[in-house]
Amino acid sequence: MFFFRTKTIKQKIIIGTTINCTFALLLAFVSIVSFEYFNYRTQAENDYRILTKILESTNRSAVGSHDGEKVTTKTNSILKLKPEVIAACVYLPDGTILSQYSRSVKEMITFPLAQSTEVIQFQKNWIDIFHPIRAADNKTLLGIQFMRVDNHAFHKEISDYIALFMIIFPLPIAIAIFLALYLQASMAQPLTELREVARQISQDKNFNVLIKSLTDDEIGFTMGEFNAMVRELKKHDTHQNRFARVLEEKINDRVSELKKEITRRKKAEKRERKLQNQLDRSRRMESLGILAGGVAHDLNNILGPVVAYPDLILSQLPENSPYRKDLEAIHNSAMRAAAVIQDLLTLARRGNYQLQVISVKDLLESYLHSPEFIEKQMLHNAVKVETDIAANTPGIKGSEVHLRQVLMNLTLNAMEAMPDGGTLKIASKACWIKKTTPVYSGVLRKGQYTQLQVIDTGEGIRKQDADSIFEPFYTNKQMGKSGTGLGLAIVYGIVADLKGFIDLKSEPGVGTEFSLYFPATRRLVTQHSKHRTVPKGDERILIVDDDAEQRALAKKLLTHLGYEVFSTSSGRKAQRVVHNNDFDLIVMDMILEDEMDGLDSIEAILKQKPQQRFVIASGYSESERAKKAQKLTDAPYLTKPYSLNEIAHAIRSVLDKKSKVLL
């Protein structure tokens, strides 16, 4: 069956017709031969059974008397008329041959063993017949008649049949092949064409092909219907193609829109993640700043006496006192501790800033020629310093002291990142931000900025460290040898306080680039020098502070300066004291433990005495409430811990100003 599955219809028709014709001819031939064979056997059995019976009746008496010669004579006379009989003999019951006959004297016959029953055996070239010879009573066995008949005539007849079959066989086969070709032309050809058309339609999508071999029979009708179906498919395909093109255009347009939308969303998500990271970083820094500010406030109260009492004692000691150096060492150590506390306040965005318009160009040139920078250069003499300070670099509003601290921390870190040498580049320029741009510490809004850059070719910052380098005490350096661990945290706090932004780019093994952005300004102001002498006075002063040690310290300092000093621990107590007494000046702490802070206390006192004068003191920087109190009183701001000189000048700046007004 698989053989026919791989053949074409034309081949199937030819092969099938040929096989059927051949099978029919073979079947007919086999039927004829079989019929002749069985007919021959039946006829032979009947004929030679009759012949043996004739021989039996003829030779019965001679056999009974064992007269072999007589039997031979009678047998020969009968069998001469039967040339197909090859040989014959008569056996006695004991199996001995009484008489025998041979068609030719030359033929040597070997007679088989006698069989006492009637048997007809068909051999390849002859037929052996055994027939018992019985007496008249049909019971006594007198002998056995044997006869061998030649069947070559039958074989020749069969050979003639085969020869005739081989002569006749090609003719019907040729007729069958001719009929197959005719059937193929009339029936298989349209089907073959149908297959080819169907292939072009299914594989090539070619609906322009039609079946051309159309007949008037059922196949022709079917082919015509198929052509009609193809025409309908062509119309449908044309419509589908047109629809598919329109749909494809719409899909392409939509895909293009989706790609743009996905791109926009990815950018938005990336921007959102960056902003979220910046927000998290800002919140973390704010939390750390709150912690640092609280610690600094408490340390300021503790450190106040350590700063002020040596100052007070030194003012009373003679110049040649042996204790002066020891007290000066204590005072200097206390001032260094106060500087660390100021760093913590800066980190907490609570530093004490004296803001003014600063020329960044002059600031950089001044810093690059300063002793501290030259000293750092000498320690890192393998580092090459380059500058690119644009002449049109705008000024910024800030604190020169704190900006110098920013420069010092960034340049020192850069130098330490290049132990084997490298290049340190310090640059500044005007920078226009045309659209909102995310940077490391926030988002730059549109506008003009002053850009200050510190770039090194050092070790770089690892990605896992980049998010934490501005946190307090996060450092890869050995604590106590390279700094306090607050350097970059202070940079972050100062830049944020000055409403600036930081951007960081770094690659390990390549280098690091810090870019600082400050709101630009073109306005410049001159700076005023501070008083250097310690002024004194004799006015009445009230100290308001919730810390007993701070009250005692302030009272002792002001008493030493000649003032009449009183103190109280809360705003409510101060309000009652002022109601019944007059004071030339009140030193008001901004942070008080009861429900009234410094601003609340000032407002309550001013309601009683609108002309009351104040100096504001606090361990924190100028908060919004402190600024409001300053605006309300036109008072100076005194940062704890303060020295004798600082509190003396602050008090005289208020009292002398007021005195001049009164005059």
Q: Give tens-digit pLDDT for 479-509.
A: 444 555 567 888 888 888 888 999 999 988 8
**33 pLDDT above the threshold of 60:** yes
The more confidently predicted of residues 334 and 434 is 434
Task: Answer yes or no: do 319 and 445 share one domain.
Answer: no
Q: Which two tokens stand for residue 575?
A: 């309000």
State the pLDDT at residue 53.
86
State the pLDDT at residue 278.
66
Q: Which two tokens stand for residue 327?
A: 């007290």
**443 pLDDT above the threshold of 70:** yes
- DSSP code at position 358: E
d(CA 613, CA 414) in angstroms, rounded, equals: 48
State the pLDDT at residue 528.
44
d(CA 572, CA 603) in angstroms, rounded, equals: 12
- Of 56-65, 314-323, 381-390, 505-514, the range with the lowest mean pLDDT is 314-323
State the pLDDT at residue 470.
75
Tell me the pLDDT band of 52, cut-offs 50, 70 and 90.
confident
- CATH code of the domain in which 321 resides: 1.10.287.130
Query: Whose CA is closest to 455, among 488, 417, 403?
Result: 417
Check: CB of residue 539 under 8 Å from CB of residue 477: no
Q: Which two tokens stand for residue 106?
A: 């030359």
d(CA 311, CA 646) in angstroms, rounded, equals: 11
**Does residue 530 form part of some domain?**
no
Those residues whose C-beta lies under 8 Å from the C-beta of residue 309, and which sit 6 or more positions away, are 553, 556
Tell me the pLDDT band of 466, cut-offs 50, 70 and 90.
confident
**513 pLDDT above the threshold of 90:** yes
**Does residue 289 form part of some domain?**
yes
Number of structural domains in the chain = 4
Q: What is the DSSP string of 524-561?
A: -----PPP-S------EEEEE-S-HHHHHHHHHHHHHT
* 299-308 pLDDT, tens digit each: 666 666 776 7
> Coil, strand or helix: which one is 421?
coil
d(CA 207, CA 203) in angstroms, rounded, equals: 11
**Does residue 191 form part of some domain?**
no
End-to-end CA distance of the chain: 133
State the pLDDT at residue 662.
36
Check: CB of residue 8 under 8 Å from CB of residue 192: yes
Task: Answer yes or no: do 547 and 516 share one domain.
Answer: no
**Does residue 533 form part of some domain?**
no
- CATH code of the domain in which 550 resides: 3.40.50.2300
* 235-272 pLDDT, tens digit each: 777 787 788 888 888 888 888 888 888 888 888 888 77
What is the Rg, in whole angstroms, of the alpha carbon atoms belonging to the chain? 67
Q: Which two tokens stand for residue 85?
A: 């009989």
Task: Answer yes or no: do 547 and 626 share one domain.
Answer: yes
**632 pLDDT above the threshold of 60:** yes
- CATH code of the domain in which 395 resides: 3.30.565.10
Query: Whose CA is closest to 466, among 278, 187, 315, 205?
Result: 278
Those residues whose C-beta lies under 8 Å from the C-beta of residue 435, and which sit 6 or more positions away, are 446
State the pLDDT at residue 260.
87
Half-sphere exposure of 326 toward its Cβ, with a 13 Å CA cutoff? 5
**Does residue 195 form part of some domain?**
no
- CATH code of the domain in which 154 resides: 3.30.450.20
**658 pLDDT above the threshold of 80:** no
**Does residue 247 form part of some domain?**
yes
Q: Domain of 648? A: 540-662
Task: Answer yes or no: do 455 and 581 share one domain.
Answer: no
Q: What is the mean pLDDT of residues 396-423?
A: 89
Q: Is the dihedral of CA 308, 309, 313, 314 positive or negative?
A: negative
Q: What is the mean pLDDT of residues 167-186?
A: 75
Q: What is the mean pLDDT of residues 577-592?
A: 91
* 601-615 pLDDT, tens digit each: 999 999 999 999 999
Task: Answer yes or no: do 281 and 358 share one domain.
Answer: no
d(CA 9, CA 230) in angstroms, rounded, equals: 22
Domain boundary among 317, 348, 379: 348
Q: Which two tokens stand for residue 138?
A: 């049909």
**586 pLDDT above the threshold of 90:** yes
Q: Which two tokens stand for residue 355?
A: 């803001």
**527 pLDDT above the threshold of 60:** no
Tell me the pLDDT band of 661, cut-offs 50, 70 and 90.
very low
> Coil, strand or helix: which one is 661?
helix
State the pLDDT at residue 517.
95
Task: Answer yes or no: do 357 and 344 share one domain.
Answer: no
Q: What is the DSSP string of 46-69?
A: HHHHHHHHHHHHHHHHHHHTT-HH
% the chain with pLDDT above 90: 18
**400 pLDDT above the threshold of 90:** no
Cα–Cα separations (whole angstroms), residue 427 to 366, 388, 389, 548: 14, 4, 5, 50
Task: Answer yes or no: do 627 and 484 share one domain.
Answer: no
**Does residue 329 form part of some domain?**
yes
Q: What is the mean pLDDT of residues 622-646?
A: 83
State the pLDDT at residue 659.
47
Domain boundary among 150, 171, 192: 171
State the pLDDT at residue 481.
46
- Of 158-167, 201-210, 263-272, 581-590, the range with the lowest mean pLDDT is 201-210
**475 pLDDT above the threshold of 70:** no
Task: Answer yes or no: do 517 and 545 share one domain.
Answer: no
The more confidently predicted of residues 13 and 541 is 541
Task: Answer yes or no: do 341 and 369 share one domain.
Answer: no
Q: Which two tokens stand for residue 33?
A: 């031969």
Those residues whose C-beta lies under 8 Å from the C-beta of residue 122, and which sit 6 or more positions away, are 41, 151
Task: Answer yes or no: do 257 and 133 share one domain.
Answer: no
**453 pLDDT above the threshold of 90:** yes
Tell me the pLDDT band of 546, cut-offs 50, 70 and 90.
confident
Cis peptide before 641 (omega within 30 of 0): yes
Task: Answer yes or no: do 453 and 426 share one domain.
Answer: yes
Q: What is the mean pLDDT of residues 127-137?
A: 88
The whole-chain average pLDDT of the chain stands at 80
**Does residue 535 form part of some domain?**
no
Cα–Cα separations (whole angstroms), residue 95 to 112, 114, 119, 227, 506: 10, 6, 16, 90, 130
**387 pLDDT above the threshold of 50:** yes
State the pLDDT at residue 218.
67
Give phi and psi for 536, each to the nearest 5.
Answer: -125, 180
Those residues whose C-beta lies under 8 Å from the C-beta of residue 71, and which sit 6 or more positions away, are 59, 62, 63, 90, 98, 99
Task: Answer yes or no: do 339 and 361 share one domain.
Answer: no
Tell me the pLDDT band of 187, cut-offs 50, 70 and 90.
low
